[in-house]
Amino acid sequence: MSSDSVSSAIRQNLSQGSMIRRMFEAGIELKKKFGNDAVCDFSLGNPDLAPPVQAAQAMQALTDKLSTPGILGYMPNAGFAWAREQLAAWLSTQQNTHLEARHVMLGCGAAGVMNAFFHTVLEPGDEVLAIAPFFGEYRFYVSNHGGCLKTIPCRLSDFAPDAEAIDKAISQRTRALIINSPNNPTGAVYSEKILREIASVLDHASRRTGRTVYLISDEPYRFLTYDGINVPPALPLYRNTVVTSSFAKNYGLAGERVGYIVINPAIDDAETLMDGLIFSNRVLGYVNPPVVGQYLMSGCLGSPTDHAVNIYTRRRDRLATILSDAGYSFTLPQGSFYFFPKAPGGDDKVFTEHLAQFLVLAVPSSGFGMPGFFRLSFAVDDAVIERSEEGFRNAIKRFQ
Q: Domain segments of the chain: what residues?
A: 8-51+305-399, 73-300
Dihedral through CA 104, CA 105, CA 107, CA 110, nearest 10?
-40
Percent over 70 (pLDDT), the chain: 92
C-alpha to C-alpha distance for 338 and 313, rounded to whole angstroms: 11
pLDDT in tens, 140-193: 999 999 999 999 999 989 999 999 999 999 999 999 999 999 999 999 999 999
The pLDDT tens digits of the residues spanning 202-247 come to 999 999 999 999 999 999 999 999 999 999 999 999 999 999 998 8
Residue 192: Cβ within 10 Å count: 14
Tell me the CATH number for domain 73-300: 3.40.640.10
CA angle 316, 178, 122 (to 5 degrees): 150
- DSSP per-residue codes, 171-233: -TTEEEEEEESS-TTT-----HHHHHHHHHHHHHHHHHHTS--EEEEE-TTTT-B-TT-----
3-state secondary structure of 302: coil
Q: Does domain 8-51+305-399 have CATH number 3.90.1150.10?
A: yes
Residue of 85, 86, 147, 77 lying closest to 112 (CA atoms) = 77
Q: What is the pTM of this model?
A: 0.92
